[in-house]
Structure 1
């Protein structure tokens, strides 16, 4: 075994689980490090507290004088917990979080009288040097100004000795440079649209809040083993490596007993989450070896997105204490399942109603049907945009594989609800007779709760599935920021609800229909229009690809192809109408995501070429030389008969030579294609070139390398193998 592998395995096998101390009941420590309602009541004046609550609940702007009082209370609270610094915590378009720490400590001009200072100005707004963050052409490189502004709807929290203040991030000219700003605008849009529709059913509804429950899948790899793989360190996935004889085929890992070392990591992570107010609830083994999942209780979408971004940071930091590396890449290992981040989405009213859950009366069930069918209609109209929202270089590996939904967006609702929609489709147009109304409300709408009690089994091959009281967007990748998908989903549903209300109001005014009749008429037409998007079968099958094509559904299998929907006239019109993003912001994000795709494939290509030529080929040649010396020795001993005796060795030498030649040839060609792609100045063309011309060589190079892994003596193979990465605890 090579020295690198031996040392890595020796270090890993010698580890003992890190002991994790219990820190009390979770209910008692939950949110201890969050400036939540309890902390605000204690440290804020009544006026300051009221100002924050009004900002959160009603979007009322906080007066700058009151901001000073809020900052003062926030600082005093933080100082009681040993905090020394504060930061505006934001989510730029890099896919990671960002922070710049400033000390509370200040001195006067002459250096005397040091104090801990933090005022409303520092709380409300800061100006980080933002020239190096992705901007998609919104600003020139020399234009460094970017502003972070406090988002009071997401509470400040303490991590370590730093007070973290969630903020938006915008340019000097006001364009959004982050994920949070468009998300907040989309949430405002759907609140307005959904509230207006709710008033058909309940005049008391004043606010509708989208909720989100994400399911974070991830791999845990021992630090030493991960450090022995240059591809994991540089790209987050294995670019080479033959599949292990034992993978996930026995299904013995899924929901199995959690290994002690991993369980200690999970307990430590959950303790940190409790302190930070992240309501994690579920933990379990996933399907692939060393793959796990963590899921929280549902929250308001903006807070849920912030919590997921924070969680991913915390997971990495806690993993360091346990000598683990967390892999969020959607497909870090070939031959076993990749990781997703299912986004469970619903809508809740300020009166305590889940709009995607039927109630006890026909009226509440009609309300459920209204939001249920409108969501399906939104997905039907904007399926390409929804596909673009989850597009990335890493998610391309996962979509359409055996563990993930296909690149074709479709909606699964189950056989029972399908029958309900079919019955609604048969409702007569125009006015309804008393008998028709009674039959409709009792026998169609009224039976929905009973239908959902025994609903059709879940369809894991569906990218967008109804699961009883919510829709589950299963196609979101594990490394993604949920804001991307949630901004799009909430925007398209907001647009659809606006259109729905306009249609219903028109029918009421012009056709002299009653409210219920108008709603039934519009919903019936929507059911007819959305049949193409509904699919109950196997989304993995080739038959579905053919059927989807007949239905006119898109099937964009690569990110450069899928992203084009983001800058379509339809998409730009949608975002501009709702004031979620203007055309400059939309086009900038398109440029940024294309550049990100290109850079990731570029990095992978360079790392792959380096490992193939500097690890795999030299190791293969070294083993080949051992075989050649062996053949020479056999020739000296056996003379003319040596060819019969050394037949297998000679054949092996030839086979190794062929694979070495294959690697060198393909790496050379890949490098040439990469150089050609790098000369292109158009982001769209460059991304397409990397996708179509460079990336195809990855599998060809891997093929030869993985064959050599099986041929070369295990004692000298330098790269840690799958059986070690995935099965060493």
Structure 2
């Protein structure tokens, strides 16, 4: 970034966003007020207002060079989708004018038959609608297509079912706002008009050289290495984490920041992550649906900017075996529309009782619906990551820290609440400033950790939309808040009722609180004693979505209908099956067309070497002979494991039309066959001349940047 760009950063940030400042400047005063009422209070939007907004948005976009617009939505693929239309409209004299109507702003139409619907739509039932989400600002993106106006939208079917990830998220935000307001009113807050959930999603990713990436069929088709022996060095020395950023990477990160800032994404932090070639970017928190849009933009921009710098960006949860994988840390909080964080302890007894009600509501919600929370972080890629010494275990638990845990124990026992005074941190160097200790340490092994004024859900897959996890968190917390509000509204003695609720929740759900090492074997045994579920795979997690408990929960708060839940159940199973199937087919392709030919070539060279040496004289060729035997024996085993994988895939075709049975078979049989084939293949890689091995190794991919 040049000095000139740095000086103009306040002007650059959000320059391509139709944000509040731009609307205030370009919209008539009454139009602006009406739109803000819709955004802030959920009031219905008049089509006349939409016409004015559309015209102002169009003029702004055209002034900046835009020729097209698109309704940008998030189908159930987990990615984003867009169909571009130009602003041109023909006139009777054969010319064109630039037009954009309120109707075009509010509603678009897209073919819904080719997106995942889980049976909601038949192939011949193609109509789908996109609806403007005015709470997330429109923005401009510049690429090879030129400048395009992007309008964030929801996506639904002709019959009204949600076909996307945005619609349920908006519904869940309304649900938790409604129930949280009931609690606030009971505590005497009559000024808050809305309660919002906020999210800051930290994004981990890998960068590899694009030329090396293009030589790896597995990375191209699946996003992860299906073969690959460990390099002599991995992350053992812990020297990459927070290390000095290499210049080539720094140049990439600088452009990434700039591109995101133009889009109004408040990218704040960047650093080297634990694994070699792994990095992280973290934005400042925002309203949940905006943060979700921003995270999709971050993932898209990561890939585009990486390509410009000669990199390939890998967002898979486990692109390299043996080193840390990637996830997202979903930092979730809840606040009033006037900025009061409801997860921040207050200064008065009254404020702290309110804080404890929200805190314990979350504890109860997480314990009651641990299966749904686990499901929200489940995909085929994350199955390779969760539970390893790098990520949270598959067991859901909550970290609160010593001080909060002690306070909850005091409440349960009916004791007077007392908190420890914060101490100064002694570091033994007189020239360093005195620092107050935080009230609790951080626990990076916890999947759901309280970190001061928010909860950090650390299980979310790096490649996935953060919509799903936040839909679940919002809804399960809304449900418990609803229970609490129902009880408190009937209470004769409010304060006594609050204490009784706190005690009951703590007693019933303290099993979910765990402040220790989530990676330890001891915790697995302890969790089992506590009765906490240990859902190890995506296939095991998916049925939670259509349990009677889940259906009642989501229908009660109008987040999902039963039909929508069953559609997503089918989509998740189908996605899992297809992911494993593509990986298995890719392994077979690489094995037959790359690895086996390389093995034949190398073993032939060794055999020819033995023959040539023997023809010269009576020399000792035992080393060559041992190597040849080792390779040919392993080749035979490799071919045998390859045949087993091929047969497993063929057998999968014979399974009846039961998606769950198919998914379970792929998990239990196909994945196991892939692991066995990989084990032999990785061993063979360590034997073969690296000049003959047919693909770039981990040493090249992870260390040659």
Could you say which residue in structure 2 is the equivalent of 1:519? 498
2:155 pairs, out of 153, 163, 169, with 169
- Give CA deviations for 1:633-652 in whole Å, capped at 9, x if unaligned: 2322334xx5xx11121111
Compute the displacement of 1:68 (Å): 1.0
Could you say which residue in structure 2 is the equivalent of 1:7? none
- The alpha-carbon distance between structure 1 residues 637 and 74, as it changes in their structure 2 partners (threshold 3 A), is same
Could you say which residue in structure 2 is the equivalent of 1:14? none
- Give CA deviations for 1:256-313 in whole Å, capped at 9, x if unaligned: 1111111111110111111110001000100011100000111111100011011111
- The alpha-carbon distance between structure 1 residues 19 and 94, as it changes in their structure 2 partners (threshold 3 A), is farther
Could you say which residue in structure 1 is the equivalent of 2:209? 222
Aligned equivalents of 2:5 and 2:672: distance in 1? 50
Could you say which residue in structure 1 is the equivalent of 2:115? 133
Aligned equivalents of 1:533 and 1:209: distance in 2? 26
Structure-to-structure mapping, 1:294-305, within 5 angstroms: 294-305=281-292
Could you say which residue in structure 1 is the equivalent of 2:308? 321
CA contact (8 A) 2:403 2:420 kept: no
- The alpha-carbon distance between structure 1 residues 665 and 375, as it changes in their structure 2 partners (threshold 3 A), is same
CA contact (8 A) 1:20 1:268 kept: no
Could you say which residue in structure 2 is the equivalent of 1:570? 549
| 1:579 partnered with 2:558 | yes
Aligned equivalents of 1:700 and 1:252: distance in 2? 32
Structure-to-structure mapping, 1:646-661, within 5 angstroms: 646-661=621-636
CA contact (8 A) 1:462 1:539 kept: yes
- Give CA deviations for 1:305-328 in whole Å, capped at 9, x if unaligned: 011011111111111211111100
| 1:627 partnered with 2:606 | yes
Aligned equivalents of 1:625 and 1:200: distance in 2? 82
Aligned equivalents of 2:576 and 2:277: distance in 1? 27
Could you say which residue in structure 1 is the equivalent of 2:384? 397
CA contact (8 A) 1:47 1:66 kept: no
Could you say which residue in structure 2 is the equivalent of 1:11? none
Can you give the 5+ residue segments of structure 1 that lack an aligned partner in the other structure?
Answer: 1-17, 428-438
For normalisation by structure 2, the TM-score amounts to 0.95
Could you say which residue in structure 1 is the equivalent of 2:648? 673
| 1:55 partnered with 2:38 | yes
| 1:197 partnered with 2:197 | no
Compute the displacement of 1:469 (Å): 1.0
Question: SS state of the match for residue 475, structure 1?
Answer: strand
Deviates more, 1:700-709 or 1:164-173: 700-709
For normalisation by structure 1, the TM-score amounts to 0.92
Could you say which residue in structure 1 is the equivalent of 2:10? 27
CA contact (8 A) 1:365 1:448 kept: no
Aligned equivalents of 1:111 and 1:520: distance in 2? 76
- Give CA deviations for 1:562-621 in whole Å, capped at 9, x if unaligned: 111111110111000000000000110110011001100000000011112211111111
Could you say which residue in structure 1 is the equivalent of 2:484? 500
Structure-to-structure mapping, 1:635-654, within 5 angstroms: 635-639=614-618, 645-654=620-629
Structure-to-structure mapping, 1:47-446, within 5 angstroms: 47-108=30-91, 110=92, 112-160=94-142, 161-201=147-187, 202-427=189-414, 440=416, 443-444=417-418
CA contact (8 A) 2:652 2:662 kept: yes
Aligned equivalents of 1:343 and 1:25: distance in 2? 31
| 1:462 partnered with 2:437 | no
Question: SS state of the match for residue 149, structure 1?
Answer: strand
Question: SS state of the match for residue 199, structure 1?
Answer: helix
CA contact (8 A) 1:23 1:271 kept: no
- Give CA deviations for 1:233-268 in whole Å, capped at 9, x if unaligned: 111111111111111111111001111111111110
Aligned equivalents of 1:383 and 1:421: distance in 2? 20
Compute the displacement of 1:450 (Å): 8.9
Deviates more, 1:694-703 or 1:519-528: 694-703
Could you say which residue in structure 2 is the equivalent of 1:700? 676
Structure-to-structure mapping, 1:523-538, within 5 angstroms: 523-538=502-517
Aligned equivalents of 1:584 and 1:21: distance in 2? 55
Question: SS state of the match for residue 617, structure 2?
Answer: helix
Aligned equivalents of 2:439 and 2:197: distance in 1? 24
Aligned equivalents of 1:454 and 1:322: distance in 2? 40
Compute the displacement of 1:111 (Å): 5.5
Question: SS state of the match for residue 711, structure 1?
Answer: coil
CA contact (8 A) 1:208 1:350 kept: yes
CA contact (8 A) 2:127 2:158 kept: yes
- Give CA deviations for 1:696-721 in whole Å, capped at 9, x if unaligned: 01221111111111111122112101
Could you say which residue in structure 2 is the equivalent of 1:556? 535
- Give CA deviations for 1:336-366 in whole Å, capped at 9, x if unaligned: 1001100001111123211111121111111
User: RMSD value over aligned CA atoms?
Assistant: 1.7
Could you say which residue in structure 1 is the equivalent of 2:433? none
CA contact (8 A) 1:358 1:449 kept: no
Aligned equivalents of 2:318 and 2:646: distance in 1? 24
Aligned equivalents of 1:263 and 1:105: distance in 2? 41
Question: SS state of the match for residue 128, structure 1?
Answer: strand
Question: SS state of the match for residue 367, structure 2?
Answer: helix
Aligned equivalents of 1:21 and 1:486: distance in 2? 39
Question: SS state of the match for residue 33, structure 1?
Answer: coil
Compute the displacement of 1:21 (Å): 8.0
| 1:685 partnered with 2:668 | no
Can you give the 5+ residue segments of structure 2 that lack an aligned partner in the other structure?
Answer: 425-435
Aligned equivalents of 1:402 and 1:703: distance in 2? 20
CA contact (8 A) 2:648 2:673 kept: no
Could you say which residue in structure 2 is the equivalent of 1:491? 475
- The alpha-carbon distance between structure 1 residues 629 and 21, as it changes in their structure 2 partners (threshold 3 A), is farther
Deviates more, 1:714-723 or 1:380-389: 714-723
Could you say which residue in structure 2 is the equivalent of 1:436? none
Question: SS state of the match for residue 75, structure 1?
Answer: helix
CA contact (8 A) 2:41 2:193 kept: no
Deviates more, 1:709-718 or 1:89-98: 709-718
- The alpha-carbon distance between structure 1 residues 106 and 312, as it changes in their structure 2 partners (threshold 3 A), is same
Question: SS state of the match for residue 312, structure 2?
Answer: strand
- Give CA deviations for 1:351-386 in whole Å, capped at 9, x if unaligned: 321111112111111111111111011001000110
Aligned equivalents of 2:410 and 2:24: distance in 1? 53
Question: SS state of the match for residue 175, structure 1?
Answer: coil
Aligned equivalents of 1:40 and 1:531: distance in 2? 48
Compute the displacement of 1:22 (Å): 3.3
Could you say which residue in structure 2 is the equivalent of 1:662? 637
- The alpha-carbon distance between structure 1 residues 605 and 702, as it changes in their structure 2 partners (threshold 3 A), is same
